[in-house]
Structure 1
Amino acid sequence: MDPGDNDNHQSPEWVVNMKNLLDGGLALDAKSPWIIGKVPYKWRCVRDTAFYSEMVFIGPLNRRLGQELQGLRHELKIRFLIRLLGGKLERRGRDGDVSRTTEGQRASDGCERDEHDEGGRMVKAMLLDDLAEAMQILEQKTRACYSESFDDLSSVEFVEMMVVDGCFVVELLRLYHQRFNPQSPGVATEYDPIFSNPLTLTALRRDLVQFENQLPFFILEKLYELINKKNKIDHQHAVPLEVLAVTFFDPLLPQHNAASKLDTNKPKAHLLDVFRSSFLNSEKVLKKGKSQIKSRLNPNGSIRGVVRHFTSELQEAGMQFKKWKGHDLLDIEFDHNTLRVPQLSINDNTISLLLNFVAYEMSIEHPEPFFTNYVMFWDSLVNSPRDIQIFRKHGIINHLGSEKEVVELFMRCREVIYDLDLGYLYNEIKEVNEYCEQYCESKYSFWWRSLIRERFSSPWTCLSLFAAIILLLLTLLQTFYTVYAYYRSL
């Protein structure tokens, strides 16, 4: 064929598009690694409510939701932005009348401190242009943090989202810390129902730790810096934003002095990462995290990344379970025949939090899948309500619902977590498996222990089995004499 004929050949549309990409010099690895993305559908099947926002949508991933829902949530964010900028707020009296008060009027009423006081409200001189300009500079860096490109979102719309959503988050954390921190003087938050309604605060906490509901942390830090500057607060001596965040989120899964466990010098991806990091500062966890598992298979081909026996089986093998008081959530230890585990309270808050931790660790190339390993550890121990009952009896699991509900949750996690190569609990899992193998060397011995447990668990079952054996022997004896008499008479 004459090469010139190729010029007259009409290429398919997809070929033309690909050539245009090649001509444009687009590299396959041009986009930097993202830190915020959509939760896979399979994870939503584990617990859909863990990934659905109830009060607010933050960031661009959820912007396509219905107009009515967005409108209700956007109004809340705008109210906080107006408050931050020193605008007018609505104040509803006991009789239902609404009056508008300025920041100066609130201060004169004794409800708010002077604007020049170190922890005071933002002065009216704070310009919205300052925030918009700062976000404009960081726009491209922010876009690169998401798994989607958002080409349909203009620069103006994207910057607006950054300012409105970011200021809402920062102001919420700021005001909460000032109002509820005993060492911080109060501010005028009594007019906002958010700070007087525990259910609303809980819903906001759950929304703001969802993986899809995140803004890059450097955005929040920049806004916080500008806010402190306009408040005439020395940003270097202000309470770190990470501390404000952990103080706000701590009621979801309380820790002892959680803020002190933060490493404020280590970069954070977003608020979810900030709160997650507060659980990782345990000396035991950090020490274990340095050892990485090279392979999930033993030479004989058996999986070593999970416990191979459920809790009821381990108890039959003589293992003891003990609630480990005074230790962090991820601190788990096996010593001789005792498994020590810190108490885990299972409720809607902790389930949502743990699943979002795992979704974050599994959605990116994360070097420290601590919570993924933690959830799989529980999953490998639980297979029936009896397993949960054992943990509840020892005070290790605190759950008000049914044991069956907890079992089903862990079994759904089992279907979506695959990679067990890395795990800080590797040594504990290995020791538990080795212990159990010493007491379960054969299927016969394990079957015999199961039979003893099931048939001799109470005196009534023992009597029933004994009576059945006597009845069987008498029946056999009667049959023998009948047959014997018959043949003797022949």
Structure 2
Amino acid sequence: MAHYIEITQMDHQVPLLDQTSVNEATEYEMNEGRKMDHIIEMKETNGQDPSGSQTNKSINQIFDEKFKKLDNSSVKSTTIFKVSVKLRESNPDAYKPKLISIGPYHRHNPDLRSIEKYKLMYLQRFLRRKEGIDVESCIRELEELKDEARKCYDDIEDLDSDSSTGQFLQMLLLDGCFVVEFIRECYGEIPTEEDPIINAACIYYQVRRDLMLLENQLPFFVLTKLHDMTKDVDETEDVDETSFPIMVKRTFLPFLPKFTPTSFLKTECNAENIKHLLQLVHMSCYPSEMKTSIIRNSRMREVERDRAYCRKSLCWNLLPKFRSKETPIDRDHHMPWHDIMPNVTELCEAGVSFTKVGTIYRHLDKDNLEDNTSLFDIKFENGLMKIPCFEVSDDTEATLRNLIAYEQQSSHVSPKYFSDYAIFMDRLVDSERDVSLLRQKGIIRNIIGEDKEVAMLFNKIGKGISISHDFYYKEDCKKIVQHCEKPWNRMKANLRSNYFHSPWAGVSTVAAIILLLLTATQTVLSVLSVIK
């Protein structure tokens, strides 16, 4: 259907002029005609007959149709978002797949076509798992889910028409079978006398990285449907160990900067509550139970305090607070504590000590099930900051950024642990010297190269993140700032740095103090003897 815009010029009344100014007025009207008001009439043509007749549609009818489409599409059902421009600005490549496209957002990218053959190979394996199923029967099963699956995406106009239904279902089948079979392969569920389809380590790691992108997801109910269609009968004997959510967690959790082994056991794995792979990984990462319970019990009190403060203050800023290290310190204007928190180097100068907690695991074992230390369990007490150790690899930034993007664009996620962690680490790390100090303490395991790269990662990852009122590290930031404001703490740090930085320096300092005391005593005794 073709659209055109017809612009009709309004009649303008020209005041009566004498004969000498009529020509000037006419010339002025011609020169200024483009600045006059116009009435824009939208017309829609549904084919033209030889006489050129067209079907007109009023502006009200056009918007009535738009309103009707808006009513039929539920915005709340969107779970697989396109990453916002604000988050994408600092590193757009972190949200783009490098090897494989899953879902509709990147399916037209020509750079990702080389992996399409693997999708067909995994589909063949999927169909061989159970007799009596073929492509046609799988499409029929997925057709029941297509409408619900469409609503999970932000904007897929090219797949909204009836003629595109077949393309959408084929995409769900090919991409869904690839994801299910890849996870089965990682879990070790390979049919007898068959080899892994993906043998190259570089391809494996790239695929695993791409499956953790927010824009590269399929609805989890589609994956569950495909998994259940070809599930072995023996799998029902031990539901906990062979359920699809458990397989997903065992595939992706060990490759996070740090994961808690207990998260495999304590996370609810009800497939009905899972939206996609990234969300399942996100819901498996949380602080320790004790700190979580404290947050839950105090959240209502914090909300009530915030409401009381809002009522008292007439200049309360309702806009989100974005990262701004250049903002001057101004406590009189209620500067948030995280905005004035010193970095690692400054904290060391103020007498703060750092120590690591927990261990970095790369597999699940009986020996590490007792470790309940999470990535988020940062604590500060009495001048000692405890930070869980973590690993920074090539995929760390992309993984963290997409988990943060999911939090930022999901209204139901609170607290936003990954977002708050990124903000805290952004304040803590300013330069490669800060990274070096944390690495020497065993807190950071850097396997990507120079410390400068790690510093740049944390400096960029906090940009564009909105900070909620229930910032998870609010109390810790407050304690840190208050500790640094006490002069005595800085004096002790200077003494330790200048006179006790090594054992020999400490012995020399103590000896000098003793010698000074003896000299002072001798002087006093000499003065007393003269007086007598």
TM-score, length-normalised on structure 1?
A: 0.73
Q: Deviation at 1:234?
A: 6.0
SS at match of 1:26: helix
Separation of aligned partners in 1, 2:347 and 2:97: 40
Does 1:347 pair with 2:376?
no
Aligned-partner Cα distance in 1 for 2:352–2:482: 12
Aligned to 1:31: 74
Q: Which one of the candidate residues 341, 352, 357 is aligned to 2:403? A: 357
Task: Determine if the alignment matches structure 1 residue 19 to structure 2 residue 48.
Answer: no
Give the equivalent residue in structure 1 for 2:106: 62
Distance 1:338 1:449 in 2: 13
Q: Which residue matches 2:47?
A: none
Provide the C-alpha distance between the structure 2 equivalents of 1:212 and 1:414, rounded to a whole number of angstroms.
20
Is residue 2:127 matched to residue 1:85?
yes
8 Å CA contact 1:333–1:339 kept in 2: the answer is yes
- Give the Cα–Cα distance (whole angstroms) in 2 for the partners of residues 449 and 140 of structure 1: 64
CA contact (8 A) 1:343 1:397 kept: yes
**Partner of residue 345, structure 2:** 312
Letter paired with 1:310: N
Structure 1: stretches of 5+ with no match in the other structure: 87-121, 180-185, 460-490
Task: Judge conservation of contact 2:87–2:463 (CA < 8 Å) in 1.
Answer: no
2:227 to 211, 217, 224: 224
Corresponding residue number in structure 2 for 1:370: 417
1:383-394 pair list within 5 angstroms: 383-394=430-441
Match of 1:433 among 481, 488, 495: 481
Q: Given the superposition, is the C-alpha separation of residues 306 and 283 from structure 1 closer, same or farther in structure 2, using an over 3 Å criterion? A: farther
Q: What pairs with 1:20-419 in structure 2 (closer than 5 Å)?
A: 20-22=62-64, 25-26=67-68, 30-33=73-76, 34-66=78-110, 69-86=111-128, 122-152=129-159, 154-179=164-189, 187-188=191-192, 191-194=195-198, 196-228=199-231, 231-233=232-234, 237-238=238-239, 239-253=242-256, 255=259, 256=261, 258-265=263-270, 267-280=273-286, 282-290=288-296, 291-292=298-299, 294=303, 300-306=333-339, 308-325=341-358, 326=371, 327-368=373-414, 369-400=416-447, 401-419=449-467
User: 2 CA distance for matches of 1:418 and 1:24?
Assistant: 32
Secondary structure, in 3 states, of the residue corresponding to 2:273?
coil
Aligned-residue offset at 1:31: 2.3
The code of the aligned residue for 2:183 comes to L
Q: Quote how far apart the aligned CAs of 1:157 are.
A: 0.8
Distance 1:439 1:365, change over 3 A: farther
- Deviation (angstroms), 1:133: 1.8
Deviations 1:236-284 (A, max 9, x none): 8542111111111134225335522421137112101111222127314
Distance apart, 1:41 and its partner CA: 4.2
User: How well do the aligned residues superpose, as a CA RMSD in angstroms?
Assistant: 3.5
Amino acid at match of 2:243: P
Deviations 1:394-442 (A, max 9, x none): 111111422222222222223322324332222222222222223489x
Q: 1:288 to 1:361 in 2, by over 3 A?
A: farther
Checking the alignment, whether the CA contact within 8 Å between 1:46 and 1:409 is kept in structure 2 is no
Distance 1:452 1:338, change over 3 A: closer
Runs of 4+ displaced beyond 6 Å: 296-299, 448-459
User: 1:213 & 1:189 partners in 2: Cα distance?
Assistant: 32
CA distance in 2, matches of 1:243, 1:222: 16
**What TM-score, normalized by structure 2, do the two folds share?**
0.68
> 1:148: how far off?
0.7
Q: Kindly, what percent of the aligned residue pairs are identical?
A: 27
Q: Corresponding residue for 2:524?
A: none
2: CA distance between counterparts of 1:387 and 1:324? 18
CA distance in 2, matches of 1:382, 1:451: 25
Call closer, same or farther: CA 1:311–1:223 in 2, change over 3 Å: same
Q: Gapped runs of 5+ residues in structure 2?
A: 1-9, 11-37, 44-56, 307-320, 322-329, 359-370, 505-532
Residues 289, 361 of structure 1: CA spacing in aligned structure 2 closer, same or farther, 3 A cutoff? farther
Structure 2 residue identity aligned to 1:260: L
The structure whose Rg is larger is: 2
**1:364 is matched by which residue type in structure 2?**
S
